[in-house]
């Protein structure tokens, strides 16, 4: 079974890696197409409400994950969206800290893609906090399990 690995790099960085049995193009599409994005983002049983979703260079996003009575808002701006690279900011409403996220999509073999997410925190303290809470930024592991399933359906 595929797992996501998380590695602290320096004072302010965490690098997350996962291999997907899908093409670079499909992994990219799942991140940049609204009706695919909402099918894997957020915990199982949740609903993602996209208030704004413009995954292009200079665009932005603003979405709320609805779980029962809970509402969790995430927002940020897209610095760069290229075929094998997506760079955006990311913030969870109610927290002060903003994170810079760089997603690199690397073709390992045809139909096999490494996704490397480099999260840069705006302070060492913010990064420490994420490490202490278990490195699984925003429930990334379970999101990626859902993404795995979605990609299998697309193939």
* The two three-digit tokens of residue 143, written as one number: 């999101």
Is residue 122 involved in binding a second copy (CB under 8 A)? yes
Residues 56-95 within binding reach of a second copy (CB under 8 A): 57-60, 62, 75-80, 87-89, 91
- When binding is defined by CB under 8 A, the residue of 3, 5, 33, 123 that contacts a second copy is 123
Site track for a second copy across 17-56, x = CB under 8 A? -----------------------------------x----
Minimum CB distance to a second copy, residue 103 (Å): 12
Residues 6 or more apart whose CB falls under 8 angstroms from that of 64 comprise 48, 49, 51, 71, 72, 73, 74
Is residue 139 involved in binding a second copy (CB under 8 A)? no
Residues 6 or more apart whose CB falls under 8 angstroms from that of 36 comprise 29, 30, 150, 154
- Helix then strand then coil, in percent of the chain rounded to 5, is 25, 45, 30
- Using the contact rule CB under 8 A, the part of the chain among 22-30, 121-129, 130-138, 147-155 near a second copy is 121-129
* The two three-digit tokens of residue 77, written as one number: 């701006």
Residue 64 DSSP SS3:
strand
Closest residue by Cα to residue 133 from 44, 6, 11, 42: 6
Is residue 15 involved in binding a second copy (CB under 8 A)? no
Task: Give the count of residues interacting with a second copy (CB under 8 A).
Answer: 29
Write out the residues near a second copy by the rule CB under 8 A.
10-13, 52, 57-60, 62, 75-80, 87-89, 91, 98, 100, 102, 118, 120-124
């Amino acid at each position: 079974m595929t797992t996501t690995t998380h590695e602290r790099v320096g004072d302010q960085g965490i690098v997350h890696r996962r291999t997907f049995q899908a093409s670079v193009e499909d992994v990219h599409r799942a991140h940049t197409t609204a009706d695919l994005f909402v099918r894997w983002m957020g915990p199982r049983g949740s609903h993602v409400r996209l208030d704004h979703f413009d995954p292009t260079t200079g665009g932005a996003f603003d979405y709320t994950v609805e779980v029962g009575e809970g509402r969790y808002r995430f927002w940020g701006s897209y610095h760069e969206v290229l075929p094998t690279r997506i760079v955006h900011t990311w913030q969870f409403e109610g927290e002060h800290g903003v994170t810079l996220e760089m997603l690199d999509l690397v073709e390992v073999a045809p139909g096999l893609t490494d996704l490397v997410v480099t999260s840069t925190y705006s302070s060492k303290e913010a990064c420490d906090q994420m490490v202490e809470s278990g490195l699984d930024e925003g429930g990334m592991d379970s999101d990626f399990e859902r993404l795995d399933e979605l990609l299998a359906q697309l193939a």
